Structure 1
Amino acid sequence: MPKKILIVEDEANIRELLRLYLEREGYTVIEAENGVEGIKKWKSEKPDMLLLDVMMPVMDGWAVCKEIRAESDVPIIMLTAKGETADRVSGLEMGADDYIVKPLEMPEVIARVRAVFRRMAPDDAPEKLSFDNLVIDKQAYDLVIRGKRVDAPPKEIELLYYLASSPNRVFTRAQLLDDVWGFDYFGDTRTVDVHVKRLREKLEGVSDKWELKTVWGVGYKFETKE
């Protein structure tokens, strides 16, 4: 069954362009012209992904993202005309999985959409890592802390799994962008910092046998302790 993508964008010409390119790639496309309509269609259509504009009348993209994240981990890619780092970081902190700065380049949009779905696709065999009070299941995209499933966006789980797959190895931010995001990322390395910050909020105080650690001036590692 084709993946279903909801485009929430107030500019009709952009919606039409996105729809044409996404349908050409085999996706089913639903459209909404403002945030309120987007919320309604998200609830009724249950899409596999949202392409969400930031600046919209009635209800902006930040508000839509916040409301959806309160109930769902469905992947969200923000579409924004604001290129400032602060705006991009704010979107990621609200739970967006990615962002694309306008004017949109369709090959970039398609690459990002494919990358998200590729990360979500199950492998032939389960990929599960277990540590003290922590289980990371990449196939099911589950994060289990102290025996309880904790909601986390797919990219957070992918990043934690990648780091924990090589305990005590230090990865640079550039390496993490290349390997976790899975394509030539168009953003900056602060993307990694934001996702690590969100993971640490979930993992704080869980165990004294491992730690998601910053290696200053280099990057990050999942450190295990004897």
Structure 2
Amino acid sequence: MKILIIEDNQDIQTMLVEAIGQQGHQTVSAYSGTEGLLLLQLHAIDLVILDLMLPGKSGQDVLREIKSHSVLPVIVISAMNSMDEKIALLKAGADDYLDKPFNLRELMARIDNAIKHYQGSTSKAVYQIEHLVYDSNDHRMTYKQQELNFTPQEFKIMSLFMQNPNKIFTKQELFELAWDSYYIGEDKTLNVHIGNIRKKLFAVSERDWIETVWGIGFRLNPQINTAD
């Protein structure tokens, strides 16, 4: 699992990175709310640990932005421990809340619980953007009820885009997730599969569903994602 830690205190960052790493998870560190939102676009994140008192965008703003388009679990850690504040955060979509200072063992348990709950809630779901539908119950993707004939790797790539419509995936992330193999910088295989996906989707919809973000990777075309 890859966990994004949005916390501007260097000592707390170091402590969390070490503790989470010992549990076998990967970590990505952000020191401001703005940086945290950017890293969410660049990495396939499974859970966010979010401080509230941040430079740039506040933790409250980051939480609202994440939950406006995602069910990604967010655990808030903060010294702002009033009951009204906690209730407001939970209503805004926070999955859990811990007061500072917190017990690391308790945080690790809450992380495990949040990930299990998230995996359970997303393991059987239907994702739809316009007429394109990904049904994870039976692993089918259709456009206007016409089943799309994707290869296994093409299907994995498109299912990632459908589940994370606002995320920019790097070439490394797409390759390693689709092929379950270490990425060594060879782009030809991935580019061929992206090209095939584009052709198959254009054939049924006459629209380009995938945008190339130069120097970074690919994402679902935001013009389609934000269409009414």
Unpaired runs of 5+ residues, structure 2, are: 128-132, 134-228
Percent identity (aligned): 29
Match of 2:12 in 1: 14
Secondary structure of the equivalent of 2:106?
helix
| 1:120 to partner: Cα distance | 3.1
Secondary structure of the equivalent of 2:41?
helix
Secondary structure of the equivalent of 2:8?
coil
Whose Rg is larger? 2
Secondary structure of the equivalent of 1:16?
helix
Structure 2 Cα separation of the partners of residues 142 and 100 of structure 1: 32
2:33 counterpart of 1:49 = no
Secondary structure of the equivalent of 1:78?
strand
TM-score, scaled to structure 2: 0.53
The Cα offsets for residues 74-99 of structure 1, whole Å up to 9 and x where unpaired, read as: 00001110111001011111111111
Match of 2:32 in 1: 34
Are the aligned partners of 2:73 and 2:118 in contact in 1 as well (CA < 8 Å)?
no
Structure 1 Cα separation of the partners of residues 122 and 69 of structure 2: 21
Structure 1 Cα separation of the partners of residues 125 and 20 of structure 2: 25
Are the aligned partners of 2:30 and 2:36 in contact in 1 as well (CA < 8 Å)?
yes
Structure 2 Cα separation of the partners of residues 59 and 115 of structure 1: 27
Secondary structure of the equivalent of 2:3?
strand
Structure 2 Cα separation of the partners of residues 41 and 104 of structure 1: 25
Match of 1:113 in 2: 111
Match of 2:124 in 1: 140
TM-score, scaled to structure 1: 0.53
Are the aligned partners of 1:120 and 1:141 in contact in 2 as well (CA < 8 Å)?
no
Structure 1 Cα separation of the partners of residues 122 and 88 of structure 2: 26
Unpaired runs of 5+ residues, structure 1, are: 123-136, 144-148, 150-226
Structure 2 Cα separation of the partners of residues 85 and 110 of structure 1: 23
The Cα offsets for residues 187-218 of structure 1, whole Å up to 9 and x where unpaired, read as: xxxxxxxxxxxxxxxxxxxxxxxxxxxxxxxx
